């Protein structure tokens, strides 16, 4: 009888060294760049302090790459970009070249292969997105499908420089919002309390930690049909879904009542103003696969208004700060409701305690 092989202990190497994967021109000029220019949408030119130049061509992908696509992209990088690639945090690809003559052929090769060059400067860059139905255990919607559907319609804004400043759009499939802050964020918003399968709670859920997870203390232990379970005070419940991940029998997702909400004005940058959080502008939007036309229509309406009304360099939050929220709702035609007035902790800071009114 052969002995079972001993398990292989892992090599705890952690985060790998980056220089080995960097284009040699980047390694050589690490910390030595002087300035950059933007020759055309999707292309950056960086010039080092001693005059060396590199061109970056940025291209959008579908983020979830099959091995055929990976090899296709690698082939392009080998043919035109010295065999190096970099991904941005919004899943765009960057090819680096040191020879200007290669820029246009590279763009052609990328475009011919079905990828889209753009996403630099004052464009709408690729939506950042999360897992959704493809792989998450708690999603209220799909993310990849939303991104594909929206970018099909916003592609002209990806490949051009028509926006007042850059626009970062994000999607998230639950209110945890893994997609993060965005100039525009499209996020799931549940509108009904969880439906509890009381037969399963005792065996599946660690009840005290589920009780502790609720932001509004609406969950309490209960005996239901003689079994230990949990109950929800539906008058207190804010339908956030925080109980669902630690307790899957508390199903929060609902084909009809899990809606989409749109938030605007999230901005991480310190440029001009301090970083800002996104604010609610629209909700009750149907979660409508496979193309989510209602959500896309509202995003396009906000973008159109921003494009027409904002000044150069104003991000969406800065534009609205200048024109005021009443004007934002007037210009976009979106309704202002009681749900727009915050009642969460710190809400008072969001109230207008002044006589500053625009007429």
Partner 1 sequence: MAEHFDTPMLDELENGPWPSFISGFKRLRDEHPEERIRSVANSLLGQLEHSYETRKGYWKGGTVSVFGYGAGIIPRFSEVDDAFQASKEFHTLRVQPPPGNYYTTDMLRQLADSWEKYGSGLITFHGQTGNIMFIGADTENTQTFFDEINDYGWDLGGAGPDVRTGMSCVGAARCEQSCIDEQKIHRTLQNNFTDDVHRPALPYKFKFKISGCPNDCQNSIERSDFSVIGTWRDDMKVDQEAFKGYLQTKGRQYLIDNVITRCPTNALAITDDDTLAVDNRNCVRCMHCLNVMPKALSPGDDRGATICIGGKRTLKIGDLMGTVIVPFKKLETEEDFESLVEMAEEVIDFWAENGLEHERCGEMIERIGLVNFLEGIGVDVDPNMVNNPRQSSYVRMDEWDAEAEKWFERKAEEAAG
Q: Does the protein bind partner 1 through residue 358 (CB under 8 A)? A: no
Is the CB of residue 176 less than 8 Å from the CB of residue 131? Answer: no
To partner 1, the closest distance from the beta carbon of 100 in angstroms equals 16
Name residues contacting partner 1, limited to 314-343 (CB under 8 A): none
- Rule CB under 8 A: which of 182-201 touch partner 1? none
Smallest distance, partner 1 to C-beta of residue 73, A: 8
Residue that the structure tokens 């896309």 belong to: 296
Q: Which residue has the tokens 């949990």?
A: 230
Looking only at residues 52 through 91 of this chain, which bind partner 1 when binding is defined by CB under 8 A? 54, 56, 60-71, 73-75, 77-78, 83-89, 91
How far apart CA 40 and CA 120 sit, in angstroms, is 9
Ordered DSSP codes for 127-194: PB---GGGT-SS-SS-SHHHHHHHHHHHHHHHSS--SSS-B-EEEESSTT-TT---SEEEEEEE-SPP
- With contact defined as beta carbons under 8 Å apart, do 239 and 193 qualify? yes
Give, in order, the Cα–Cα distances in Å from 121 to each of 4, 28, 41, 175, 182: 58, 26, 8, 29, 16
Q: Rounded to the nearest 5°, which phi and psi values hold at 148?
A: -60, -45
Which residue, 119 or 332, is less far from partner 1 as judged by CB?
119
* Distance in Å, CB of 226 to partner 1, minimum: 26
Rule CB under 8 A: which of 19-58 touch partner 1? 19-23, 26-27, 29-31, 33-36, 46, 54, 56
In the complex, least distance from residue 16 CB atom to partner 1, rounded to whole angstroms? 5
In the bound state with partner 1, the residue whose beta carbon lies nearer, of 64 and 223, is 64
- Which residues, 213 to 272, sit near partner 1 by CB under 8 A? 213, 215, 240, 242, 248, 253, 255, 258, 268-272
Please, is 84 exposed, middle or buried when counting C-beta atoms within 10 Å of its C-beta (0-12, 13-18, 19+)? middle
Quote the CA–CA distance of 71 and 126 in Å, as a whole number: 22
Q: Which is nearer to partner 1, 50 or 312 (CB)?
A: 312
As measured in angstroms, the least distance from the Cβ of 160 to partner 1 is: 14
Please, which of residues 133-162 interact with partner 1 by CB under 8 A?
133-142, 144-145, 148-149, 151-153, 155
Nearer to partner 1, 3 or 359 (CB): 3
Binding-residue pattern over the window 3 to 22 for partner 1, x denoting contact by CB under 8 A: ----xxxxxxxxxxxxxxxx
Task: Supply angle C-alpha 123, 126, 127, rounded to 5.
Answer: 115
108-127: which residues touch partner 1 (CB under 8 A)? 114-116
């Amino acid at each position: 009888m052969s002995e079972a092989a001993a398990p292989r202990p892992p090599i705890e190497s952690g985060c790998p060294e980056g220089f080995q994967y960097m284009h040699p021109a980047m390694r050589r000029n690490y910390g030595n760049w002087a300035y950059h220019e933007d020759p055309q949408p999707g292309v950056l030119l960086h010039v080092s302090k001693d005059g060396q130049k590199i061109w970056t061509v940025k291209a959008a992908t579908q983020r979830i790459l099959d091995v055929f696509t990976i090899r296709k992209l690698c082939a392009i990088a080998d043919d035109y970009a010295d065999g190096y690639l970099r991904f941005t945090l919004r899943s765009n690809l960057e090819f680096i070249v040191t020879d200007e003559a290669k820029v246009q052929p590279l763009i052609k090769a990328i475009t011919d292969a079905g990828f889209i060059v753009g996403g630099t400067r004052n464009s709408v860059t690729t939506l950042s997105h999360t897992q959704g139905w493809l792989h998450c255990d708690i999603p209220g919607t799909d993310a990849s499908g939303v991104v594909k559907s929206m970018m099909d319609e916003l592609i002209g804004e990806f490949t051009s420089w028509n926006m007042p400043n850059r626009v970062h759009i994000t999607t998230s499939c639950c209110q945890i919002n893994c997609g993060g802050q965005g100039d525009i964020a499209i996020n799931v918003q549940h509108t009904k309390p969880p439906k509890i399968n009381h037969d399963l709670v005792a065996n599946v859920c660690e009840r005290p930690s589920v009780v502790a997870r609720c932001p509004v203390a609406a969950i309490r232990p209960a005996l239901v049909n003689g079994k230990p379970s949990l109950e929800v005070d539906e008058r207190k419940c804010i339908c956030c879904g925080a109980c669902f991940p630690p307790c899957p029998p508390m199903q929060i997702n609902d084909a009809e009542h899990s809606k989409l909400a749109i938030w605007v004005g999230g901005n991480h940058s310190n440029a001009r103003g301090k970083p800002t959080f996104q604010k609610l502008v629209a909700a009750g939007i149907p979660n409508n696969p496979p193309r989510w036309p209602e959500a896309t229509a509202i995003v396009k309406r906000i973008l159109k208004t921003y494009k027409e009304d904002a000044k150069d360099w104003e991000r969406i939050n800065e534009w609205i700060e200048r024109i005021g929220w009443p004007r934002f709702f007037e210009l976009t035609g979106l309704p202002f409701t009681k749900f727009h007035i915050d009642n969460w902790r710190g809400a008072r800071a969001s109230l207008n305690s002044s006589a500053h009114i625009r007429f």
